[in-house]
């Protein structure tokens, strides 16, 4: 069984069927079916529904080809096709200015990413002699150190993946595609934007020896995850908050790939896709829940002492589970670092339990143990799907970057929640609410380089907020 899950089996020429393929086919097929059924009801009576369904099916078909392909060139071309068909869905409502601006920015970013990908393929093809995934894997495993040209190719791949994964500062389009139909947002956030993680997993034997590329993955991913997570806490709009969450989650997925934690990255990809599809398709009921919670009296801010106590409980739970599972900190340093990040991520859920009596403390402690146990169990299960390559080069700088970055994120979140009227919160909140003004600068640049075609404005009509910002 393990052979079947970790080795390539060719049923048809150009098809790669292994454990990762089966997981991704099941994931995309399931989410695609749910979104298709939801779309039929969502767009019932809309005259454009047949056109929408055609482009939706074309996008899903391109993603399926991408997953099944055993050739890197076909995989990249299928990703380009998925991007172009998705563009038709993002501009489904051609009279919505914000939708057109967002789609235009995504189009430009994706085309730059495509150029990076094609440049990488040219370098790999000329040095390896083949773009078949099996040949690339065998060449990488037999090569002690990658030549400079192949190192450059891996860097170009990382840049292309980062651009298509909505990493800072090229993230703005992801936040503004909410003008498209809700099922399109679910498809984009659940099945398209995370393809970069899949590509990195496919090229794991090659990327494991590309130390510069992996460091770049960790740097880009950590920066995006930390900033996006902070900005997300300032958002009121449910969908925009979900979009910032996706931005942060994609950054964390790139961090996992940069640390060589391929099974964690695959697990994250599957879990995030399922969660985001459900979150977007049920966003209407989320609004109702938020309104109900708004009627409840607000609690006093939790002090810093409880935050750090809750972090201690979460980290203790993760350490206990990791130790019982037999994970070695020397053999799996990346897994332990990511487990520590998971412990810090559990803290906001547990923070109100600390200080609520022994019964409450036991409850939240058992909850933390349960989540940590599930994480290590699924990590082990997904590890069986991958023949994880050994990591070359020094891991210490990358691990230090991750721990410092996410440790800083935890401290900032704790201080801002514990002291919402404090000096730090009053200084950071306005800037975070504005997204550090990154997207405004990028939008102005795109309008100067290649202005989009926008619908004509009514004689006395007011321009959209996006146009007002650019004209200011």
Q: Residue 171 has which token pair?
A: 């993230």
Taking only the tens place, the pLDDT of each residue in 268-285 is 888 888 888 887 787 666
Mean predicted lDDT score pLDDT of the chain: 80
CA dihedral over 466, 430, 403, 410, signed as positive or negative: negative
Model confidence pLDDT, tens digit, residues 405-418: 988 988 888 888 88
Task: Answer whether residue 39 shows pLDDT above 90.
Answer: no
User: Which candidate, 25, 27, 35, 67, places its Cα nearest to that of 180?
Assistant: 35
- 243 close to 174: Cβ distance less than 8 angstroms: yes
Q: For 375-388, how does the pLDDT look when each residue is reduced to its tens digit (9 = 90+)?
A: 777 767 777 666 66
The per-residue pLDDT for range 453-472, each reduced to its tens digit, is 776 654 445 555 555 444 44
* Count of helices and strands (H, E) across the chain: 22, 0
Distance (Å, rounded) from C-alpha 222 to C-alpha 167? 10
Query: If you write DSSP's letter for every residue of 216-243 in order, what string do you get?
Result: HHHHHHHHHHHHHHHHHTT--SHHHHHH
Model confidence pLDDT, tens digit, residues 170-211: 887 887 777 778 788 788 776 688 888 999 999 988 998 888
Q: Which of helix, strand or coil describes residue 212? A: helix
Return the pLDDT at 446.
80
CA–CA distance, 314 with 326 (Å, rounded to integer): 19
At 122-133, the pLDDT tens digits run 999 998 888 898
The whole-angstrom separation of Cα 208 and Cα 141 is: 10
318 and 340 Cβ atoms separated by less than 8 Å: yes
Task: With beta carbons less than 8 A apart as the criterion, state whether 272 and 251 touch.
Answer: no
Is 392 or 434 the better-scoring residue by pLDDT?
Answer: 434
Q: Is the pLDDT of residue 32 over 70?
A: yes
Q: Is the backbone peptide bond immediately before 169 cis, with ω within 30 degrees of 0?
A: yes
In this prediction the pTM is 0.85
DSSP 104: H
SS3 call for 105: helix
Pairwise CA distance, residues 195 & 23, whole Å? 13
> If pLDDT is split at 50, 70 and 90, which confidence band does 151 have?
very high
Residues 6+ apart with CB under 8 A from 269: 27, 194, 197, 198, 201, 253
> Which structure tokens are listed for 405?
């970055």
CA distance 268 to 149: 31
pLDDT of amino acid 1: 38
Whether 423 has a pLDDT exceeding 90, the answer reads: no
């Amino acid at each position: 069984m393990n052979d079947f899950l970790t080795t390539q089996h060719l049923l048809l020429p150009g098809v790669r069927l292994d454990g990762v393929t089966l997981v991704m086919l099941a994931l995309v097929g399931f989410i695609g079916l749910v979104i298709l059924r939801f779309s039929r009801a969502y767009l019932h009576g809309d005259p454009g529904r047949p056109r929408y369904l055609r482009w939706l099916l074309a996008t899903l078909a391109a993603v399926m080809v991408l997953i099944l392909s055993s050739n890197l060139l076909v995989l990249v071309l299928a990703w380009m096709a998925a991007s172009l068909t998705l563009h038709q869905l993002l501009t489904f409502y051609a009279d919505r200015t914000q939708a057109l601006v967002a789609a235009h920015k995504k189009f430009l970013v994706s085309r730059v990413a495509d150029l990076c990908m094609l440049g990488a393929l040219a370098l790999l093809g000329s040095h390896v002699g083949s773009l078949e995934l099996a040949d690339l894997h065998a060449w990488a495993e037999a090569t002690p150190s990658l030549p400079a040209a192949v190192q450059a190719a891996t860097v170009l791949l990382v840049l292309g993946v980062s651009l298509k994964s909505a990493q800072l500062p090229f993230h703005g389009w992801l936040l503004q595609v909410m003008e498209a139909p809700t099922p399109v947002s679910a498809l984009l956030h659940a099945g398209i934007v995370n393809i970069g993680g899949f590509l990195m997993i496919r090229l794991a034997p090659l990327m494991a020896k590309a130390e510069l590329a992996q460091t770049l993955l960790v740097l880009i991913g950590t920066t995006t995850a930390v900033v996006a997570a902070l900005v997300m806490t300032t958002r009121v709009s449910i969908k925009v908050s979900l979009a910032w969450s996706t931005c942060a989650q994609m950054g964390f997925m790139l961090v996992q790939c940069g640390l060589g934690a391929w099974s964690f990255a695959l697990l994250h990809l599957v879990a995030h896709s399922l969660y985001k599809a459900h979150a977007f398709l049920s966003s209407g009921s989320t609004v109702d829940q938020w309104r109900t919670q708004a009627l409840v009296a607000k609690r006093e801010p939790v002090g810093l002492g409880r935050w750090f106590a809750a972090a201690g409980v979460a980290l203790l739970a993760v350490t206990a589970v990791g130790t019982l599972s037999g994970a070695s900190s020397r053999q799996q340093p990346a897994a332990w670092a990511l487990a520590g990040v998971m412990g810090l991520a559990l803290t906001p859920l547990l923070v109100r339990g600390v200080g609520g009596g022994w019964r409450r403390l036991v409850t939240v402690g058992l909850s933390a143990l349960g989540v940590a146990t599930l994480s290590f169990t699924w990590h082990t299960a997904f590890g069986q799907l991958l023949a994880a390559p050994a990591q070359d080069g020094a891991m210490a700088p990358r691990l230090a970057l991750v721990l410092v970055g996410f440790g800083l994120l935890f401290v900032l979140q704790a201080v801002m929640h514990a002291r919402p009227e404090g000096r730090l919160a009053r200084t950071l909140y306005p800037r975070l609410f504005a997204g550090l003004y990154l997207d405004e600068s990028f939008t102005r640049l795109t309008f100067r380089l290649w202005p989009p075609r926008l619908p004509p404005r009514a004689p006395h009509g007011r321009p959209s907020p996006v146009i007002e910002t650019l004209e200011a």
